[in-house]
Structure 1
Amino acid sequence: MTRIIADISVSVDGFVTGPDPGPDSGMGTGGDALHSWAFSDDPDDRRLLREATARSGAVVLGRRLFDLVDGPNGWNDEVGYGAGEAGRAAFVVVTSSPPESVRLTSLDWTFVTTGVADAVGTARRRAEAASARTGKDLDVVLMGGGALIRSALDAGLVETLSLHLAPVVLGAGTPLFTGAVPRTLVQRGCLPTSTATHLVYDVL
Protein backbone atom coordinates (compact mmCIF):
# COMPACT_ATOMS: atom_id res chain seq x y z
CA MET A 1 0.00 0.00 0.00
CA THR A 2 1.39 3.40 -1.00
CA ARG A 3 1.79 5.86 1.86
CA ILE A 4 2.42 9.61 1.70
CA ILE A 5 5.43 10.27 3.94
CA ALA A 6 6.95 13.64 4.80
CA ASP A 7 10.59 12.97 5.63
CA ILE A 8 12.92 15.76 6.75
CA SER A 9 15.82 16.55 9.08
CA VAL A 10 15.22 19.23 11.68
CA SER A 11 17.17 20.96 14.45
CA VAL A 12 16.16 20.80 18.11
CA ASP A 13 14.77 24.34 17.76
CA GLY A 14 12.68 23.43 14.72
CA PHE A 15 14.67 24.65 11.70
CA VAL A 16 15.27 22.70 8.49
CA THR A 17 18.05 25.03 7.30
CA GLY A 18 20.45 27.32 9.08
CA PRO A 19 20.39 31.11 8.65
CA ASP A 20 20.84 32.66 5.21
CA PRO A 21 20.26 29.68 2.87
CA GLY A 22 20.99 30.44 -0.76
CA PRO A 23 22.25 29.03 -4.06
CA ASP A 24 25.81 28.64 -2.77
CA SER A 25 24.78 27.41 0.67
CA GLY A 26 21.52 25.54 0.35
CA MET A 27 21.44 24.46 3.99
CA GLY A 28 22.41 27.89 5.33
CA THR A 29 24.99 28.61 8.00
CA GLY A 30 25.51 25.49 10.11
CA GLY A 31 22.71 23.64 8.36
CA ASP A 32 24.88 20.81 7.08
CA ALA A 33 24.83 19.42 10.63
CA LEU A 34 21.18 18.51 10.10
CA HIS A 35 22.16 15.76 7.66
CA SER A 36 25.19 14.29 9.40
CA TRP A 37 23.17 11.16 10.11
CA ALA A 38 22.69 10.48 6.38
CA PHE A 39 26.46 10.28 5.87
CA SER A 40 27.39 8.55 9.12
CA ASP A 41 28.79 5.05 9.56
CA ASP A 42 26.35 4.25 12.35
CA PRO A 43 24.72 0.94 11.30
CA ASP A 44 21.24 2.06 12.40
CA ASP A 45 21.53 5.28 10.39
CA ARG A 46 22.69 3.31 7.33
CA ARG A 47 19.84 0.81 7.70
CA LEU A 48 17.18 3.52 8.02
CA LEU A 49 18.50 5.35 4.97
CA ARG A 50 18.74 2.16 2.91
CA GLU A 51 15.24 1.01 3.82
CA ALA A 52 13.66 4.42 3.19
CA THR A 53 15.34 4.76 -0.18
CA ALA A 54 14.30 1.26 -1.20
CA ARG A 55 10.65 2.03 -0.40
CA SER A 56 10.58 5.32 -2.34
CA GLY A 57 8.43 4.98 -5.44
CA ALA A 58 8.21 8.73 -6.06
CA VAL A 59 9.75 11.78 -4.39
CA VAL A 60 8.20 15.26 -4.20
CA LEU A 61 10.26 18.42 -3.79
CA GLY A 62 9.78 22.14 -4.14
CA ARG A 63 11.34 24.31 -6.83
CA ARG A 64 13.90 25.94 -4.54
CA LEU A 65 15.19 22.52 -3.48
CA PHE A 66 15.19 21.33 -7.09
CA ASP A 67 17.35 24.29 -8.09
CA LEU A 68 19.88 23.30 -5.42
CA VAL A 69 19.79 19.60 -6.31
CA ASP A 70 20.09 20.22 -10.05
CA GLY A 71 22.46 23.17 -9.74
CA PRO A 72 26.18 23.04 -10.51
CA ASN A 73 27.04 22.19 -6.88
CA GLY A 74 24.14 19.78 -6.45
CA TRP A 75 23.84 16.02 -6.62
CA ASN A 76 26.58 13.95 -8.24
CA ASP A 77 27.62 10.29 -8.44
CA GLU A 78 28.51 10.26 -4.73
CA VAL A 79 25.74 12.43 -3.32
CA GLY A 80 22.17 11.99 -4.46
CA TYR A 81 18.84 10.80 -3.18
CA GLY A 82 19.53 8.68 -0.14
CA ALA A 83 23.04 10.15 0.19
CA GLY A 84 24.64 7.65 -2.14
CA GLU A 85 22.05 4.88 -1.91
CA ALA A 86 20.97 3.54 -5.29
CA GLY A 87 17.63 5.29 -5.46
CA ARG A 88 15.86 5.48 -8.82
CA ALA A 89 12.52 6.89 -7.78
CA ALA A 90 10.54 9.28 -9.97
CA PHE A 91 10.94 12.91 -8.90
CA VAL A 92 8.00 15.34 -8.93
CA VAL A 93 8.74 19.05 -8.56
CA VAL A 94 6.17 21.64 -7.47
CA THR A 95 6.87 24.83 -9.40
CA SER A 96 5.18 27.84 -10.97
CA SER A 97 7.00 27.13 -14.25
CA PRO A 98 9.27 24.28 -15.42
CA PRO A 99 12.98 25.02 -15.87
CA GLU A 100 14.33 25.63 -19.36
CA SER A 101 16.80 22.76 -18.96
CA VAL A 102 17.78 20.02 -16.51
CA ARG A 103 21.36 19.11 -15.60
CA LEU A 104 20.57 15.70 -14.08
CA THR A 105 19.05 14.19 -17.20
CA SER A 106 19.53 10.64 -15.93
CA LEU A 107 16.77 11.19 -13.35
CA ASP A 108 13.04 10.96 -14.04
CA TRP A 109 11.68 14.50 -13.53
CA THR A 110 8.04 15.62 -13.68
CA PHE A 111 7.18 19.30 -13.13
CA VAL A 112 3.73 20.13 -11.75
CA THR A 113 2.53 23.74 -11.97
CA THR A 114 -0.92 23.33 -10.38
CA GLY A 115 -0.01 23.03 -6.72
CA VAL A 116 1.10 20.62 -4.05
CA ALA A 117 -2.09 18.50 -4.06
CA ASP A 118 -1.73 17.78 -7.78
CA ALA A 119 1.98 17.05 -7.31
CA VAL A 120 1.25 14.55 -4.54
CA GLY A 121 -1.47 12.98 -6.70
CA THR A 122 0.96 12.65 -9.60
CA ALA A 123 3.58 11.14 -7.32
CA ARG A 124 1.07 8.66 -5.90
CA ARG A 125 0.20 7.44 -9.39
CA ARG A 126 3.89 7.07 -10.24
CA ALA A 127 4.57 5.17 -7.01
CA GLU A 128 1.57 2.89 -7.48
CA ALA A 129 2.67 2.12 -11.04
CA ALA A 130 6.16 1.30 -9.78
CA SER A 131 4.65 -0.90 -7.08
CA ALA A 132 2.68 -2.83 -9.71
CA ARG A 133 5.81 -3.30 -11.84
CA THR A 134 8.04 -4.46 -9.01
CA GLY A 135 5.57 -6.28 -6.80
CA LYS A 136 6.76 -4.20 -3.82
CA ASP A 137 4.92 -1.64 -1.68
CA LEU A 138 6.44 1.72 -2.61
CA ASP A 139 5.74 5.07 -0.99
CA VAL A 140 5.58 8.74 -1.93
CA VAL A 141 8.22 10.71 -0.01
CA LEU A 142 8.02 14.48 0.43
CA MET A 143 11.68 15.41 0.92
CA GLY A 144 11.27 19.17 1.26
CA GLY A 145 11.85 21.91 1.58
CA GLY A 146 10.16 23.00 4.74
CA ALA A 147 7.49 25.14 3.07
CA LEU A 148 6.41 22.25 0.84
CA ILE A 149 6.09 19.84 3.76
CA ARG A 150 4.25 22.40 5.87
CA SER A 151 1.83 23.09 3.00
CA ALA A 152 1.20 19.39 2.50
CA LEU A 153 0.60 18.88 6.23
CA ASP A 154 -1.75 21.87 6.32
CA ALA A 155 -3.71 20.44 3.38
CA GLY A 156 -4.11 17.05 5.07
CA LEU A 157 -2.08 15.25 2.41
CA VAL A 158 0.51 13.63 4.71
CA GLU A 159 -0.13 10.27 6.34
CA THR A 160 3.24 9.72 8.03
CA LEU A 161 5.72 12.28 9.36
CA SER A 162 9.33 11.13 9.67
CA LEU A 163 11.63 13.55 11.49
CA HIS A 164 15.37 13.16 11.91
CA LEU A 165 16.07 15.29 14.97
CA ALA A 166 19.67 16.50 14.79
CA PRO A 167 21.44 17.41 18.05
CA VAL A 168 22.02 21.02 17.07
CA VAL A 169 20.44 24.39 17.89
CA LEU A 170 20.63 26.69 14.85
CA GLY A 171 18.98 29.76 16.36
CA ALA A 172 17.47 30.86 13.03
CA GLY A 173 16.84 29.61 9.51
CA THR A 174 13.86 28.04 7.75
CA PRO A 175 11.25 26.95 10.31
CA LEU A 176 9.27 23.77 9.73
CA PHE A 177 6.11 24.41 11.72
CA THR A 178 5.71 28.17 12.24
CA GLY A 179 2.13 29.08 11.33
CA ALA A 180 1.17 25.47 10.66
CA VAL A 181 -2.38 24.16 10.97
CA PRO A 182 -2.65 22.20 14.25
CA ARG A 183 -2.42 18.43 13.72
CA THR A 184 -2.65 15.49 16.10
CA LEU A 185 0.25 13.04 15.80
CA VAL A 186 0.56 9.47 17.07
CA GLN A 187 4.12 8.34 17.71
CA ARG A 188 4.97 5.08 15.94
CA GLY A 189 8.73 4.97 16.24
CA CYS A 190 11.69 6.47 18.07
CA LEU A 191 15.24 5.38 17.36
CA PRO A 192 18.17 7.28 18.91
CA THR A 193 21.49 6.81 17.14
CA SER A 194 24.92 8.37 17.56
CA THR A 195 23.97 11.25 15.22
CA ALA A 196 20.20 11.84 15.48
CA THR A 197 16.91 10.78 17.01
CA HIS A 198 14.68 9.31 14.30
CA LEU A 199 10.99 9.89 15.01
CA VAL A 200 7.99 8.50 13.11
CA TYR A 201 4.42 9.73 13.57
CA ASP A 202 1.05 8.94 12.06
CA VAL A 203 -0.73 12.17 11.12
CA LEU A 204 -4.39 12.22 12.12
Structure 2
Amino acid sequence: MTRIIADISVSVDGLVTGPDPDPDNGLGTGGEALHTWAFSDDPDDRRILREATAGSGAVVLGRRLFDVVDGPKGWNDDSGYGAREVGKPAFVVVTSSPPKSLRLTGLDWTFVTTGLADAVTAARERAEAASAGSGKDLDVVLMGGGLTIGSALNAGLIDVLSLHIAPVVLGTGTPLFTGEAPHTLVQRSVTSTSTATHLIYDVVT
Protein backbone atom coordinates (compact mmCIF):
# COMPACT_ATOMS: atom_id res chain seq x y z
CA MET A 1 0.00 0.00 0.00
CA THR A 2 1.40 3.38 -0.99
CA ARG A 3 1.56 5.84 1.89
CA ILE A 4 2.00 9.62 1.78
CA ILE A 5 4.95 10.45 4.03
CA ALA A 6 6.04 13.96 4.98
CA ASP A 7 9.77 13.81 5.75
CA ILE A 8 11.65 16.92 6.86
CA SER A 9 14.43 18.15 9.13
CA VAL A 10 13.47 20.73 11.73
CA SER A 11 15.09 22.70 14.52
CA VAL A 12 14.17 22.35 18.18
CA ASP A 13 12.13 25.55 17.81
CA GLY A 14 10.17 24.17 14.85
CA LEU A 15 11.93 25.87 11.94
CA VAL A 16 12.86 24.26 8.62
CA THR A 17 15.18 27.05 7.47
CA GLY A 18 17.20 29.76 9.13
CA PRO A 19 16.53 33.43 8.36
CA ASP A 20 16.77 34.87 4.84
CA PRO A 21 16.54 31.73 2.68
CA ASP A 22 16.94 32.28 -1.06
CA PRO A 23 17.82 30.16 -4.14
CA ASP A 24 21.55 30.56 -3.42
CA ASN A 25 21.14 29.74 0.27
CA GLY A 26 18.06 27.56 0.44
CA LEU A 27 18.33 26.72 4.13
CA GLY A 28 18.93 30.31 5.22
CA THR A 29 21.55 31.50 7.67
CA GLY A 30 22.59 28.64 9.93
CA GLY A 31 20.11 26.25 8.35
CA GLU A 32 22.79 23.80 7.21
CA ALA A 33 22.84 22.50 10.78
CA LEU A 34 19.40 20.97 10.19
CA HIS A 35 20.85 18.42 7.76
CA THR A 36 24.07 17.44 9.53
CA TRP A 37 22.54 14.05 10.23
CA ALA A 38 22.13 13.28 6.50
CA PHE A 39 25.91 13.45 6.03
CA SER A 40 26.76 11.69 9.28
CA ASP A 41 28.67 8.41 9.53
CA ASP A 42 26.53 7.31 12.46
CA PRO A 43 25.07 3.89 11.54
CA ASP A 44 21.57 4.85 12.70
CA ASP A 45 21.62 8.07 10.67
CA ARG A 46 22.82 6.14 7.60
CA ARG A 47 20.17 3.46 8.08
CA ILE A 48 17.34 5.98 8.42
CA LEU A 49 18.43 7.84 5.30
CA ARG A 50 18.88 4.61 3.34
CA GLU A 51 15.51 3.15 4.35
CA ALA A 52 13.64 6.39 3.64
CA THR A 53 15.10 6.92 0.20
CA ALA A 54 14.91 3.25 -0.77
CA GLY A 55 11.19 3.28 0.01
CA SER A 56 10.46 6.35 -2.14
CA GLY A 57 8.47 5.70 -5.29
CA ALA A 58 7.88 9.41 -5.96
CA VAL A 59 8.79 12.68 -4.27
CA VAL A 60 6.72 15.87 -4.03
CA LEU A 61 8.25 19.30 -3.54
CA GLY A 62 7.13 22.90 -3.83
CA ARG A 63 8.35 25.34 -6.46
CA ARG A 64 10.51 27.33 -4.07
CA LEU A 65 12.41 24.20 -3.04
CA PHE A 66 12.67 23.12 -6.66
CA ASP A 67 14.32 26.43 -7.53
CA VAL A 68 16.89 25.76 -4.81
CA VAL A 69 17.72 22.16 -5.76
CA ASP A 70 17.80 22.92 -9.51
CA GLY A 71 19.79 26.11 -9.01
CA PRO A 72 23.54 26.49 -9.57
CA LYS A 73 24.33 25.59 -5.95
CA GLY A 74 21.71 22.84 -5.74
CA TRP A 75 21.87 19.08 -6.06
CA ASN A 76 24.78 17.21 -7.60
CA ASP A 77 26.06 13.63 -7.61
CA ASP A 78 27.18 13.91 -3.99
CA SER A 79 24.36 16.03 -2.61
CA GLY A 80 20.76 15.34 -3.54
CA TYR A 81 17.81 13.10 -2.81
CA GLY A 82 19.23 9.66 -2.11
CA ALA A 83 22.74 10.62 -3.21
CA ARG A 84 25.13 7.75 -2.54
CA GLU A 85 22.19 5.60 -1.44
CA VAL A 86 19.62 4.58 -4.07
CA GLY A 87 18.34 5.13 -7.57
CA LYS A 88 16.40 8.26 -8.36
CA PRO A 89 12.59 8.32 -7.95
CA ALA A 90 10.16 10.45 -9.93
CA PHE A 91 9.84 14.05 -8.74
CA VAL A 92 6.58 16.00 -8.78
CA VAL A 93 6.69 19.78 -8.34
CA VAL A 94 3.72 21.91 -7.26
CA THR A 95 3.93 25.18 -9.17
CA SER A 96 1.85 27.89 -10.80
CA SER A 97 3.94 27.57 -13.96
CA PRO A 98 6.64 25.11 -15.12
CA PRO A 99 10.22 26.41 -15.39
CA LYS A 100 11.51 27.43 -18.81
CA SER A 101 14.63 25.29 -18.44
CA LEU A 102 16.14 22.57 -16.24
CA ARG A 103 19.66 22.09 -14.95
CA LEU A 104 19.00 18.60 -13.54
CA THR A 105 17.90 17.06 -16.83
CA GLY A 106 18.84 13.56 -15.70
CA LEU A 107 15.96 13.40 -13.22
CA ASP A 108 12.32 12.54 -13.92
CA TRP A 109 10.37 15.78 -13.33
CA THR A 110 6.60 16.35 -13.50
CA PHE A 111 5.20 19.84 -12.94
CA VAL A 112 1.63 20.09 -11.65
CA THR A 113 -0.11 23.46 -11.95
CA THR A 114 -3.52 22.50 -10.54
CA GLY A 115 -2.69 22.37 -6.84
CA LEU A 116 -1.15 20.27 -4.12
CA ALA A 117 -3.86 17.59 -4.01
CA ASP A 118 -3.42 16.92 -7.73
CA ALA A 119 0.36 16.79 -7.28
CA VAL A 120 -0.01 14.17 -4.54
CA THR A 121 -2.38 12.18 -6.76
CA ALA A 122 0.12 12.30 -9.64
CA ALA A 123 2.92 11.22 -7.30
CA ARG A 124 0.82 8.36 -5.95
CA GLU A 125 0.25 7.11 -9.48
CA ARG A 126 3.99 7.23 -10.16
CA ALA A 127 4.78 5.47 -6.88
CA GLU A 128 2.20 2.75 -7.51
CA ALA A 129 3.64 2.16 -10.98
CA ALA A 130 7.13 1.95 -9.48
CA SER A 131 5.82 -0.46 -6.85
CA ALA A 132 4.40 -2.74 -9.51
CA GLY A 133 7.70 -2.69 -11.37
CA SER A 134 9.84 -3.38 -8.30
CA GLY A 135 7.59 -5.92 -6.59
CA LYS A 136 7.59 -4.00 -3.28
CA ASP A 137 5.47 -1.23 -1.79
CA LEU A 138 6.92 2.21 -2.41
CA ASP A 139 5.69 5.46 -0.88
CA VAL A 140 5.16 9.07 -1.86
CA VAL A 141 7.49 11.36 0.08
CA LEU A 142 6.76 15.05 0.61
CA MET A 143 10.23 16.46 1.14
CA GLY A 144 9.22 20.09 1.48
CA GLY A 145 9.52 22.88 1.76
CA GLY A 146 7.83 23.68 4.99
CA LEU A 147 4.86 25.44 3.40
CA THR A 148 4.14 22.44 1.16
CA ILE A 149 4.25 19.99 4.05
CA GLY A 150 2.23 22.26 6.34
CA SER A 151 -0.41 22.72 3.65
CA ALA A 152 -0.58 18.99 2.99
CA LEU A 153 -0.97 18.26 6.70
CA ASN A 154 -3.78 20.81 7.02
CA ALA A 155 -5.48 19.35 3.93
CA GLY A 156 -5.47 15.83 5.37
CA LEU A 157 -3.16 14.47 2.66
CA ILE A 158 -0.47 12.96 4.89
CA ASP A 159 -0.45 9.46 6.40
CA VAL A 160 2.94 9.57 8.14
CA LEU A 161 5.01 12.44 9.55
CA SER A 162 8.75 11.79 9.79
CA LEU A 163 10.69 14.50 11.61
CA HIS A 164 14.44 14.76 12.07
CA ILE A 165 14.92 17.19 14.96
CA ALA A 166 18.37 18.75 14.87
CA PRO A 167 19.93 19.92 18.18
CA VAL A 168 19.87 23.58 17.21
CA VAL A 169 17.68 26.60 17.97
CA LEU A 170 17.59 28.89 14.94
CA GLY A 171 15.50 31.66 16.50
CA THR A 172 14.00 32.90 13.24
CA GLY A 173 13.32 31.30 9.88
CA THR A 174 10.58 29.32 8.17
CA PRO A 175 8.20 27.51 10.57
CA LEU A 176 6.92 24.04 9.78
CA PHE A 177 3.70 24.41 11.75
CA THR A 178 1.61 27.56 11.42
CA GLY A 179 -1.12 26.68 13.88
CA GLU A 180 -3.89 26.60 11.29
CA ALA A 181 -5.41 23.33 12.52
CA PRO A 182 -4.86 20.81 15.34
CA HIS A 183 -3.70 17.30 14.47
CA THR A 184 -3.63 14.01 16.34
CA LEU A 185 -0.50 11.91 15.91
CA VAL A 186 0.44 8.40 17.06
CA GLN A 187 4.13 7.97 17.80
CA ARG A 188 5.63 4.92 16.08
CA SER A 189 9.35 5.22 16.66
CA VAL A 190 12.09 7.35 18.18
CA THR A 191 15.77 7.03 17.29
CA SER A 192 18.33 9.34 18.88
CA THR A 193 21.81 10.00 17.52
CA SER A 194 24.37 12.71 18.22
CA THR A 195 23.08 14.72 15.24
CA ALA A 196 19.29 14.34 15.41
CA THR A 197 16.28 12.81 17.09
CA HIS A 198 14.34 10.90 14.42
CA LEU A 199 10.60 10.69 15.10
CA ILE A 200 7.94 8.86 13.09
CA TYR A 201 4.24 9.49 13.66
CA ASP A 202 1.09 8.16 12.07
CA VAL A 203 -1.24 11.06 11.31
CA VAL A 204 -4.68 10.22 12.72
CA THR A 205 -6.55 13.48 12.14
TM range (shorter): over 0.9
Tell me, yes or no, if the aligned pair for 1:186 and 1:203 is still in contact at 8 Å.
Answer: yes
Q: Comparing 128-137 with 85-94, which one deviates more in the overlay? A: 85-94
Tell me, yes or no, if the aligned pair for 2:167 and 2:196 is still in contact at 8 Å.
Answer: yes
Q: 1:1-80 maps to which residues of 2 (within 5 A)? A: 1-80=1-80
Mapped partners of 1:47, 1:148: distance in 2? 26
Q: 1:170-185 maps to which residues of 2 (within 5 A)? A: 170-185=170-185
1:186 aligns with 2:178: no
Q: Paired residue for 2:155?
A: 155
SS at match of 1:177: coil
Q: Paired residue for 2:134?
A: 134
Two-structure CA RMSD over aligned residues (Å): 0.8
SS at match of 2:61: strand
Deviation of the 1:83 alpha carbon: 4.3
Mapped partners of 2:87, 2:159: distance in 1? 22
1:124 aligns with 2:124: yes
Deviation string for 1:157-201 (max 9, x for gaps)?
000000000000000000000233111001001000111000000
5+ long unaligned stretches in structure 2: none
AA aligned to 1:136 is K
Deviation of the 1:152 alpha carbon: 0.3
AA aligned to 1:47 is R
SS at match of 2:46: helix
Q: Which runs of 4+ in 1 moved over 4 A?
A: none
Q: Paired residue for 1:195?
A: 195
* TM-score computed with the length of structure 1 as normaliser: 0.98
Mapped partners of 2:105, 2:163: distance in 1? 30
Q: How many residues are aligned here?
A: 204
5+ long unaligned stretches in structure 1: none
* TM-score computed with the length of structure 2 as normaliser: 0.98
Mapped partners of 2:106, 2:84: distance in 1? 15
AA aligned to 1:58 is A
Q: Paired residue for 2:93?
A: 93
Mapped partners of 1:24, 1:50: distance in 2? 27
Mapped partners of 1:112, 1:46: distance in 2? 32
Q: Paired residue for 1:82?
A: 82
Mapped partners of 1:176, 1:106: distance in 2? 30
Tell me, yes or no, if the aligned pair for 1:39 and 1:83 is still in contact at 8 Å.
Answer: no
Q: Comparing 45-54 with 77-86, which one deviates more in the overlay? A: 77-86
Give the fraction of aligned pairs with identical amino acids, expressed as a percent.
Answer: 79
Deviation of the 1:82 alpha carbon: 2.5
SS at match of 1:111: strand
